[in-house]
Structure 1
Amino acid sequence: MRRLRLRADIAVQAAAAHVGMRGPQLNHIEAARTGLDETRMRALASLYACTDEDYLATLASLGASDGKGWWNKHRRRVPAFALDLAELEHWATRAYLSYETFFIPGLLQTEEYIRRTFQNSEAPLSDEQIDDAVSFRLERQQILNSLAEFRFVIHEAALLMSFADKHAMRRQLAHLLEVWERPNVTIQVFPFSVKATLPYSGPFLITEPRSSALSTVVIDHPGVSEFTDAPEALEKYRSRFEALSRLALPAGDTRTSTRPDSVRDSWGVVQHIKHGLELET
């Protein structure tokens, strides 16, 4: 709402008066410290000349939410940023774009892989903390049952990491190939053979609600995740994701990738690595 007001070049006092409020009240609303009912939200949007119904409907849904969901029962058992991520994923009804470098994306991980990840984390965790983290991540994966479009670009390095033993990694890759069959999931492998160097190679994801203008970028830094909904950041990371997708191998599937004349594709790479692990065991 603050971005809409600034774009319309309307002072906060004038906007507040338009809906029978005082300037400080609207400041609190724009800072997300207090809520805004739909009637006033739409009155302000009209003042700001915003007529995008998808945008307004999404804002109304967000405004009506009390911020509570299935993730609330995990409060005080997992970090706050994980709860925020689960809430963002809940609202990602349009699309979910994820790029990962050294790990299989969380939504695609097996229970065994998740557990090994936390057991080998830099910060030591108790058995109870690990159980909580595993339970939470598995419940997050239910979002794959939604109608949103899920697109994953995974660096080939993530398929070869050995922090989980060979048996666990083989089962993880088998699970990846199972998820591949979902009609709303697209998985691509970013191969070592790519010669182009992108300006940013760290993992990130974008959650898109009904209105893509209200999306959020989650940037994964060592030990912390950064959340931003700034329009310039959204544009930059959307562009970056599409560049990664163009450079990555085509997705492929069990029908096209096994043909004698098939070209190298992502499904084939995962299947080849999985088969190699089977031979080693």
Structure 2
Amino acid sequence: MGFRSGISERQRRLGEELRRVRDAAGRSALEIGQAIGVKGPAISHIEAGRMGLNIERLSIWLDLCGVTDPGYRAGLAAMSKSVRTGWWADFKPHVHPTALDLAEAEASATALDSYQTLLIPGLLQTKAYSEIIHDYAATKVQFRQQRQQLLTSENAPPFHVVIHEAALHMMYGGPTIMRDQLNHLVEVSGLPHVTIQILPFDCTSYSSTETSFVLMHGPHTRLDSVLLEHPHGSDFLGDPEDVAAFRRKFERIRGLALPPLSTTTPASSVHRDSWGLIQHIRYKIQGR
């Protein structure tokens, strides 16, 4: 087993999970190493994602640590067998490693929950909007468009997004681009697995909503992760307590947001919904 030249988020997370189950079982690195036939120091490299682990050794590791949950074992096995050979690999020289990790995570997710504050989520952006966001960097725009094919793929995961109203008022690229972007949100909301809600300005409750994030559901709840976006980049969180906190946060935010965008059930004069708010903003844009 040789050292990897680069460690993907999937590889890092697999190592983290192996360390977590070893610690929970009270097993030493020496015990695991002897059981799978490697020297003790190799265990630290495996748990750091610097070295891989074949299915046979993975199975022995999990058996020794008393891991019996079949769904969790299958999820770890899939992570161990997977290699970074998806479409995103072609973009490796052109985009940040976090973007590659995001595309790989999206491709294997069973569901996606997203909250965005000042931007339209990448999976829902028009090409013109993406060009503005990426300062017309053609390869980055192409990468984002390639990611968006996930939503129309045969096994597209459920995608639930809450967008703060502020993102709808940001005139990135000017009124025409934003009007087309809002029209696109309405169109995409027609997909059966896409749910779009708007968190309005006049929401009177606070739920720590200043940070954008994506909750990625794995093949098992223990393999869920969070992509936390901030001004200096993005970080993946896999600690169970952290992920649980963001699950609760998303449930809170979606409960505060307006009812989902729907073209079949428009807003009434009594109850507002996300469709009605977008229609109102589109009307204001047209008057500019």
The TM-score with structure 1 as length reference comes to 0.91
Residue ranges of structure 2 left out of the alignment (5+ in a row): 1-17
Q: Hey, what's the Cα distance between the residues in 2 that align with 1:5 and 1:97?
A: 30
Alignment deviations for residues 116-145 of structure 1 (CA, whole Å, 9 cap, x no partner):
1222xxxxxxx5xx1111101000111112
What residue number does 1:67 align with? 84
Letter in 2 for 1:40: R
- Letter in structure 2 aligned against 1:141: Q
Q: In 2, Cα distance between the equivalents of 1:138 and 1:147?
A: 15
CA distance in 1, matches of 2:59, 2:207: 41
Deviation at 1:187, TM superposition (A): 0.7
CA distance in 1, matches of 2:209, 2:120: 19
Out of 143, 165, 170, the position equivalent to 1:136 is 143
After superposition, give the CA deviation of every residue in 1:26-55 in whole Å (9 maximum; x if it has no partner). 221111111111122122112212112121
Structure 1 letter corresponding to 2:208: P
CA distance in 1, matches of 2:105, 2:213: 14
Q: How many Å separate the matches in 2 of 1:257 and 1:249?
A: 12
**CA shift at 1:262, angstroms?**
6.1
Which of the residues 269, 276, 279 maps onto 2:277? 269
Q: Distance in 2 between matches of 1:252 and 1:118?
A: 27
Matched residue pairs, number?
269
- Give me the whole-angstrom Cα distance separating, in 1, the residues matched to 2:209 and 2:114: 14
Aligned residue for 1:206, secondary structure, equals strand
**Shift in Å, 1:272:** 2.2
Q: Could you say which residue in structure 2 is the equivalent of 1:124?
A: none
- Deviation track 1:79-98 (CA, whole Å, cap 9, x = no partner) reads 22211211121221x11111
SS of the aligned residue for 1:220 comes to strand
Partner residue in 1 for 2:194: 185
Which of 174-183 and 81-90 deviates more? 81-90
- Kindly, what percent of the aligned residue pairs are identical? 39
1:206 counterpart = 2:215: yes
Structure 2 residue 122 is the aligned partner of structure 1 residue 106: yes
2:155 paired with 1:115: no
1:153 aligns with 2:162: yes
CA RMSD of aligned residues (A): 1.6
Q: Partner residue of 1:86?
A: 103
| Letter matched to residue 145 of structure 2 | L
Is the Cα–Cα contact under 8 Å of residues 256 and 262 in structure 1 kept in the other structure?
no
